[in-house]
Structure 1
């Protein structure tokens, strides 16, 4: 009788344990789906893919910067672009041209008319200006206000 009770108890305990594990897997799947949904929402919020922003470059500090800056489909595009030659030119997204609080995007070619940069993971709505900045000389060459 003792063995029968022990076997019955073991069987019930095993059934309960396996049932609980199965329920935990369902919860994990639900949590994974929620996490995926949140990640998609965050990514959608981080980049403004609905509208296009653009602006025309203006030179600053006696430097020449010309052309158009466009943000569309998570990409920053420089069109008809040219700039004064600089030793270390980079493109930044800034708020009103403030480099210290801006987001460095990438190095640019001062004489390449068409350039495209990926903005994946950047919250574009935080910025309103595309700025060309020489990191070595600490000089803003020009900027384009986005509209």
Structure 2
């Protein structure tokens, strides 16, 4: 009879001890879950900042350079570069670049630009606009800047 009591007591004590250990793991899981929620909220805030910086609107008017004519407006809005009322001197290989102070060598080539098409739109997905302050029309073949629009 004493052995049965001892076995039952031991079983109950072991069950309580293991049950308490399981509860401690639940507390750790709850804390991890709370930490993950906090990190997720912080990531969302960072993503919102990034999307806001990419969605900010900047615009500028083109000015011709190097005896070339470039006119019109460049506007960046909603991850798109839009050229309006655009026209430029004819060139054999004109491209639009995003640049810092008109520096084409360190700029980002966007696409071919049509010298005589008034309205043109280019996708700027995955472009960090804080690295650039101007839109440059550049002839790749002649290595000549036709004009710039400083963005504000």
* TM-score normalised per structure 1: 0.77
Contact persistence 1:134–1:140 (CA under 8 A): yes
Task: Quote the Cα distance in structure 1 between the aligned partners of 2:89 and 2:111.
Answer: 17
Question: Cα–Cα, structure 1 residues 144 and 42, in superposed 2: closer, same or farther, change >3 Å?
Answer: closer
Gaps of 5+ in 1: none
Contact persistence 2:89–2:115 (CA under 8 A): yes
CA-atom RMSD, angstroms? 2.5
Rg larger for = 2
The CA deviation string for residues 61-93 of structure 1, in whole angstroms up to 9 with x for no partner, is: 444433332334543221122234444322112
Q: CA deviation at 1:120?
A: 4.6
Structure 1 equivalent of residue 117 of structure 2: 112
Moved more, 19-28 or 84-93: 84-93
Contact persistence 2:138–2:145 (CA under 8 A): yes
Structure 1 equivalent of residue 83 of structure 2: 78
Q: CA deviation at 1:46?
A: 4.8
Task: Quote the Cα distance in structure 1 between the aligned partners of 2:78 and 2:53.
Answer: 13
Gaps of 5+ in 2: 1-8
